[in-house]
Structure 1
Amino acid sequence: MVEQGIKFTVLASHQAARVRRIGDRNWKEVRNAGIDPTMAYTVNLPSKRQISIFFYDGPISHAVAFEDILKNGDVFAKRLTGAFSEKRNHSQLVNIATDGETYGHHHRFADMALAFALQDIEANNMAKITNYGEFLEKYPPTHEVEIIEKTSWSCVHGVDRWWSDDGCTTGAGSHPDWNQKWRTPLRNAFDFLRDTLEGKYEAAAGRLLKDPWDARNGYIDVILDRSPESVRRFFGKYAVKELTEAEKTTALKLLELQRHTMLMYTSCGWFFDELSRPEPVQVMQYAARVVQLAQDLFGEKIEEEFLKILEQAKSNIPEQGDGRRIYEHLVKPSMLNFKEVGAHYAVSSPFEKYGEQSDIYCYSVENEDRRTLDCGDTRLVTGRVKIKSKISGETALISYGVSQTGSHDIAAGVSVNMGEDEYRKMVDEVSQACSGADYSRVIRTLEQSLGGMPYSLRSLFHDEAREVLGDILESAISGVDTAYRQLYQHHYPPVRFLSELGGPIPKAFRSAAELIIDIELRRTINSDSIDAESLKNLLDTAAKWQIEIDTDGIAYDFKLSLEKMMVRLTAQSLDTAPLKNLLEAVSLARGLPFPVDLWKVQSLFWDMKSTKYPEIKQKAEQNDPQAKEWVEGFVALGNSLSIR
């Protein structure tokens, strides 16, 4: 760290062994978190260099992560400032270390508590908000510390947690019979990839880049900004010469190889208790990309050797088997190449209105040809696109053919870098066969030209698959909706009368009512202006007839609608109608029998209060009647949102 110019780092208190004032001979033992965390320390390294150390406040950090301290910003502020002590005769720093996702993900609205606490501390001069660098400059270390080697923040067993079965897990209470012996072979498999490819990378990159390892470190600038100008700057600084486009692609793929080699050591891959959890699977996906790039760059077939080591990692879940099985079932299906991207484009083309230029994740797609034919009850799409990786700049020409019968019966084939003449021949033969109503010849032509038609809706990337299937099912549901609506509307009066007499609601009618009320609730909530009266009536009817409604789904839709209304309000000037509608909707949300997440609405309101509101308030104070009415409504909205 010191060699890289890092001046200080942050450790946990239990990592300190002993301390002494600089210049003193006697040490004081501070094991078991006995060190004072309110000051900076220095560590004398074997290299004769030094690095400064801060120790975070363990009890407060634990309270933030695992207790209820973030439910109240005022309580949080007092807990932070309460860590200062008049008994100390040195300038004090109170610092905590927590995960970023604590504020909003693990604890809802914790980000608001943090913001309030910091503002409260600063506004009331309870303490000065600072950072480590400023504090270190003003108050350099007066004490030196020795740390306990091979320790870590988050585990009493130290760094063993990241490579061995140290007995420490996140789920020991739930699975006391599980072990983490899989950690060692997982790391061994990754070490095999790293060590096998290190020299090959250095040799290949050395022909293109001045210093392969310096370029690898500098590649972070490209990761953060993949614009053409950023890539040009990178090669201008690190390339041994003016590289051709092909050489640039090779260099970028080599750097991606190194990036994924580092990513496969991501900490959380070893932190949890089971090999088939998302975290170990994710680091295996990084390793799979290393394998894929090694094959592409060096023709290096190392996957089997890698898997032989990986299969020594045994899952605690019998059905998951070992690392090899997890890799083959959970990792390999997610690996992408140009053919897979082309298959996604082809299968989605009957549903998606692609333009001449489109983006699919980290690929850009340029349309070169597209033709649609109706062949009886079957729809045919043939086309040709140029796909380019935004990461490496590599390109491929994809020819495709798709057959769609009905709404969801899809068969597709793709070919990489098919010749122009061969593509034209395929298109002409398909057109002729289709015009002659010879559907079997159409399919034979596509299969022969494209090497089969193995792709279907299952070939879509997951997010798009859900969207397409949602559209297909929406069409089917609309027919059901019509039939149930007729039943509901026709029999509503007598069934309501029956309900008022205390009679049981017929099961068939209850099912129809459940569907229609749910649909009407969503339509009402998703409209531009929420009709509060209609919404109340629907909820009252559902309550009277004891109809279960999808409260989570309704609450989510309500949240989105309120956010849209708030965004529209920020774009308005002094129009009070949107303000009244939003106030009525928020008041209604507050009175629902289930919670609605108002966090984003509150945040947008706060931003508006800090920016737009003062100007309009000034107009109101100058007796502008429209501004007065708007301010009154805005204040009422703030009260409804519990913002003072």
Structure 2
Amino acid sequence: MEICNLMTKYICIHGHFYQPPRENPWLEDVEMQDSAHPHHDWNERITEECYRQNAASRILGNDRKVVDIVNNYENMSFNFGPTLLSWLEEKAPDVYGRILEADKNSVKKFSGHGSAIAQAYNHMILPLANDRDRQTQVQWGIYDFKSRFNREPEGMWLPETAVDTPTLETLVDNGIKFTILAPRQAKKVRPLGEEEWEEVNDSTLDTTVPYTCKLPSGREIAIFFYNGPASHDIAYGGLLHSGENLANRLTNSFPEENEQCKIVHIATDGESFGHHHRHGDMALAYCFHHISHHDDAELTIYAEFLDKCPPRHEVEIWEDSSWSCVHGVERWRSNCGCAGDQSKSGQQQWREPLRNALDWLRDSMNKIYEQRMSEFTSDPWSVRGDYISVILDRSPENITSFIEDHTNQELTDDDKVTFMKLLEMQRNAMLMYTSCGWFFDHIGGIETVQIMQYAARCIQLCHEISGEDLEAEFMKFLEDAPSNEDLFENGSEVYEQYVKPSKIDLVRVGAHFALSSVFEEEEKGEFPVFCYSAKIKDFSRIEAGIQVLSVGRIHIKSQITLETTDLDMIGLYLGGQNLLATVGPRMGGKRFQQTTDKLIKTFHRGENVEVFRLMNVWPEGRNYSLKHLFKDEQRRIVNEILATTFDEIENSFRHIYEYHFAIMQMLRNMNMPLPTSLAAPAAFIINTDIIRELQQDQIDIKWLKNLVDQSKRLSLKLQDEVLGFETSRKINRLMDDFRENPDNIEDLKLTTELLAALKPTTGSIDLQNPQNIFFEQVRTTYPEMQEKAEKGDENAKQWVESFTKLAQHLELSLP
């Protein structure tokens, strides 16, 4: 063990990067979230605003231009929620790769220790969990970490830093060496080897040294208590307005007396660095740059510091404490008054009944799980512990191997489905305890609805496995959970309104396919439908003007539970919102053909009433409509249906804009504001035309500049966020093309002209990817072109001139 020299100062910044699992429990995918517009969902939005930014953050020179691009994750301690990493791996693999690369590089930088630490799997409050769930949360978190970072984790982040002694024992059970807590979670301390304790609080605790916590089992774990004031000021006090100020704040936080090595360290939500505070990633990058180029202190991470400077003090923690609730862990089980949206009522009487409902549901399902899983294995809970290997790899081969390795008999197909449903019931039972469900003020909030959906999925699986329906009793518990908003009286009504309609079974998947099929010409084959597959056996699609009839036979399979069903379907579209489908069990082949022939003939004759009748007498068939489509496809089809309406609105607004353009100019020339009846249509048309132009393959830059000029002359408000989003997409495409063909001067010129025209209009353009590509070319193509230009090559001269102009608009400095 290397013991550090006296008077050595270290600085560590920890980022807790986390988003709650947002996947629809039945589709295993995040559906469209309108509140994240113009992005598809909040995971996507925060990735662009934070996770991607920190993977390639900018350092500015004295002229405020970019002089370097760095990966912040290499220089900081960090943890990513496992469920978030799963999403990033699939939806943003480049960002995911940079995170893994950063940890790999950090091992070389920090004496063989990596920047990343593990996290308990899905952010369950561990002191409120039962022993099995706590063990599985830690076990799954470690397995997930090892599968991604290819090494053992040394530390683990506890959700909300919520801690008690059993939680620390569980960490040690699984080989974890340290964790990070808030200073108010320390109860008393003493030097190692001494008997007398000193009571401490968040003001008197020395956070510049690590502590050891001795456990009842005779083992111990190291604990770091972060610097509370500095961490608070990063999140809420404006400390991220300047990277230099942040660096100075940290280097000036060491105590005056320094008889041993000290560490000033902070911990905060990673989303502070870019999402909560725009350009927070750049402040962080410059902070690292500043510290690295001065001798005041040395950057480190917890594992390295612990190796160099082991604890010399012992600590006793406050049981059931956390970093985000001054009442301990009451935020997740009682009306303590803490909430993430303090502007609301501040009353959360619903929290305890909700937890009681989930605890009852968990315990009821556990009995069924043990009973049924014992039919396949002698150790049901060990199987659940190992199930993380399937969650991370749902390939058919891996599922087959898992079932064979964990059962004591050869299973039938039905048994395999039951086996997988039992494990999925347990996985969703873990997810329904995700802490965000209690974090905010209203039981009808999206986070609480999300965990209720996990509960509903558990109830559904339990019913399919055992025949026992727990939903009615569960909803009775929710009746005791009062709502703070007038829209609902209690949690049961929230469940009825938001959760029940979202439930999906294989027939509903077939209905989605049937409703979608009238808008697309399908071919025989197998198609993915989120985490299901639909195999078309027979299919006919007939058009009559705008009206469409589709009839077919499909085989639906869940890739999660392996469950399958065969269905017959009818889809009918009569224009407008009149979209219908009937789906039912497979009928005999001869009868199906006769029914199909009759439907098609009736449809050809235009006898829609008779088509309706035939659909309604379909044997055991269920009827579906537009509202039963899954959200993303529903939105796409609604937009398609409303296209004519949108065109009518646009034509009307365009007429007002063009017919009264001269009047609007006159009013503005006299410094008179435009009346809303003129300004609104004009703004709509100019915004629409600019965005439409940006979406074209070939842009008419002269027309685009004219539109921007018109908006300025008429003092019209452009849609800043949407315009910035579309401009960023277009510039990204141009720069990607330039990367593939760096000799293309036209891409350089067009990108420059676009930035010149639109950058003064919107502050929402994301320049990260263009800047990254520019820096690549500075190291590769630019020196070659510069050399050619100096030798008189005219094309090279034009290229260098265009490249230099682009640098100015990208706010970059050339070497």
1:96–1:235: structure 2 CA closer, same or farther, 3 Å change rule? farther
Kindly indicate whether residue 643 of structure 2 is the aligned counterpart of residue 474 of structure 1.
yes
1:580–1:299: structure 2 CA closer, same or farther, 3 Å change rule? same
Alignment check: 8 A CA contact 1:559 1:596 kept:
no
Counterpart in the other structure of 2:368: 200
1:119–1:360: structure 2 CA closer, same or farther, 3 Å change rule? farther
1:274–1:92: structure 2 CA closer, same or farther, 3 Å change rule? same
Aligned residue type for 1:637? L
Match of 1:430 among 583, 593, 599: 599
Give the 5 Å matches for 1:618-637.
618-623=783-788, 625=793, 626-627=795-796, 629-637=798-806
Alignment check: 8 A CA contact 2:214 2:314 kept:
yes
How far apart in 1 are the matches of 2:239 and 2:673?
A: 49
Kindly indicate whether residue 359 of structure 2 is the aligned counterpart of residue 191 of structure 1.
yes
Kindly indicate whether residue 217 of structure 2 is the aligned counterpart of residue 50 of structure 1.
no
Deviation at 1:482, TM superposition (A): 5.2
How far apart in 2 are the matches of 1:136 and 1:539?
A: 57
Kindly indicate whether residue 348 of structure 2 is the aligned counterpart of residue 180 of structure 1.
yes
How far apart in 1 are the matches of 2:442 and 2:679?
A: 45
Counterpart in the other structure of 1:329: 497
Counterpart in the other structure of 1:598: 765
Q: Which has the higher contact order (CA 8 A, sep 6+)?
A: 2
Alignment check: 8 A CA contact 1:530 1:585 kept:
no
Counterpart in the other structure of 2:513: 345
Kindly indicate whether residue 776 of structure 2 is the aligned counterpart of residue 611 of structure 1.
yes
Aligned residue type for 1:326? V
Counterpart in the other structure of 2:281: 111
How far apart in 2 are the matches of 1:317 and 1:497?
A: 48
Alignment check: 8 A CA contact 1:397 1:418 kept:
no
Kindly indicate whether residue 239 of structure 2 is the aligned counterpart of residue 74 of structure 1.
no
How far apart in 1 are the matches of 2:674 and 2:326?
A: 61
1:572–1:129: structure 2 CA closer, same or farther, 3 Å change rule? farther
Alignment check: 8 A CA contact 2:584 2:622 kept:
no
Counterpart in the other structure of 1:459: 628
| Aligned-residue CA RMSD (Å) | 2.9
Alignment check: 8 A CA contact 2:727 2:765 kept:
no
Deviation at 1:254, TM superposition (A): 0.7
Kindly indicate whether residue 694 of structure 2 is the aligned counterpart of residue 525 of structure 1.
yes
Deviation at 1:515, TM superposition (A): 4.8
Counterpart in the other structure of 2:533: 364
Counterpart in the other structure of 2:455: 287
1:511–1:608: structure 2 CA closer, same or farther, 3 Å change rule? closer
Give unmatched runs, 5+ long, in structure 2.
1-169
Deviation at 1:70, TM superposition (A): 1.9
1:180–1:468: structure 2 CA closer, same or farther, 3 Å change rule? same
Alignment check: 8 A CA contact 2:344 2:441 kept:
no
Alignment check: 8 A CA contact 1:529 1:581 kept:
no
Alignment check: 8 A CA contact 1:370 1:381 kept:
yes
Aligned residues: 638
Of stretches 145-154 and 487-496 in structure 1, the one that deviates more from structure 2 is 487-496
CA distances 1:318-363 after superposition (whole Å, capped 9, x unpaired): 3311121111111111111112222222112222455533222222
Counterpart in the other structure of 1:40: 210
TM (norm. structure 2) is 0.72
Q: Percent identity?
A: 38
Of stretches 107-116 and 464-473 in structure 1, the one that deviates more from structure 2 is 107-116
Give the 5 Å matches for 1:163-242.
163-175=333-345, 178-242=346-410
How far apart in 2 are the matches of 1:265 and 1:510?
A: 49
1:118–1:422: structure 2 CA closer, same or farther, 3 Å change rule? farther
How far apart in 2 are the matches of 1:513 and 1:609?
A: 37
How far apart in 2 are the matches of 1:153 and 1:484?
A: 53
Counterpart in the other structure of 2:477: 309
How far apart in 2 are the matches of 1:115 and 1:454?
A: 57
1:112–1:387: structure 2 CA closer, same or farther, 3 Å change rule? farther
Counterpart in the other structure of 2:466: 298
Alignment check: 8 A CA contact 1:411 1:453 kept:
no
CA distances 1:7-43 after superposition (whole Å, capped 9, x unpaired): 2111111111111111122222222342222222111
Deviation at 1:614, TM superposition (A): 0.8
Secondary structure of the residue aligned to 1:387 is strand
Kindly indicate whether residue 274 of structure 2 is the aligned counterpart of residue 274 of structure 1.
no
Alignment check: 8 A CA contact 2:724 2:765 kept:
no
Counterpart in the other structure of 1:563: 732
Give unmatched runs, 5+ long, in structure 1.
none
Counterpart in the other structure of 2:709: 540
How far apart in 2 are the matches of 1:167 and 1:28?
A: 31
How far apart in 1 are the matches of 2:437 and 2:296?
A: 41
Of stretches 285-294 and 157-166 in structure 1, the one that deviates more from structure 2 is 157-166
Alignment check: 8 A CA contact 2:240 2:277 kept:
yes
Deviation at 1:293, TM superposition (A): 0.7
1:353–1:429: structure 2 CA closer, same or farther, 3 Å change rule? closer
1:171–1:615: structure 2 CA closer, same or farther, 3 Å change rule? closer
CA distances 1:539-561 after superposition (whole Å, capped 9, x unpaired): 33334345554444333332332
Deviation at 1:514, TM superposition (A): 4.8
Alignment check: 8 A CA contact 1:380 1:403 kept:
yes
How far apart in 2 are the matches of 1:127 and 1:425?
A: 83
How far apart in 1 are the matches of 2:400 and 2:294?
A: 50
How far apart in 1 are the matches of 2:669 and 2:392?
A: 65
Q: Which has the larger Rg?
A: 1
Counterpart in the other structure of 2:423: 255
Secondary structure of the residue aligned to 1:97 is strand
How far apart in 2 are the matches of 1:235 and 1:76?
A: 52
1:517–1:159: structure 2 CA closer, same or farther, 3 Å change rule? closer
Of stretches 479-488 and 494-503 in structure 1, the one that deviates more from structure 2 is 494-503
Alignment check: 8 A CA contact 2:518 2:572 kept:
no
Alignment check: 8 A CA contact 1:208 1:240 kept:
yes
Deviation at 1:256, TM superposition (A): 0.8
Counterpart in the other structure of 2:73: none
How far apart in 1 are the matches of 2:411 and 2:289?
A: 53
How far apart in 1 are the matches of 2:202 and 2:173?
A: 30
Match of 1:16 among 179, 186, 204: 186
How far apart in 2 are the matches of 1:380 and 1:164?
A: 54
1:96–1:232: structure 2 CA closer, same or farther, 3 Å change rule? farther
Aligned residue type for 2:497? H
Counterpart in the other structure of 2:253: 83
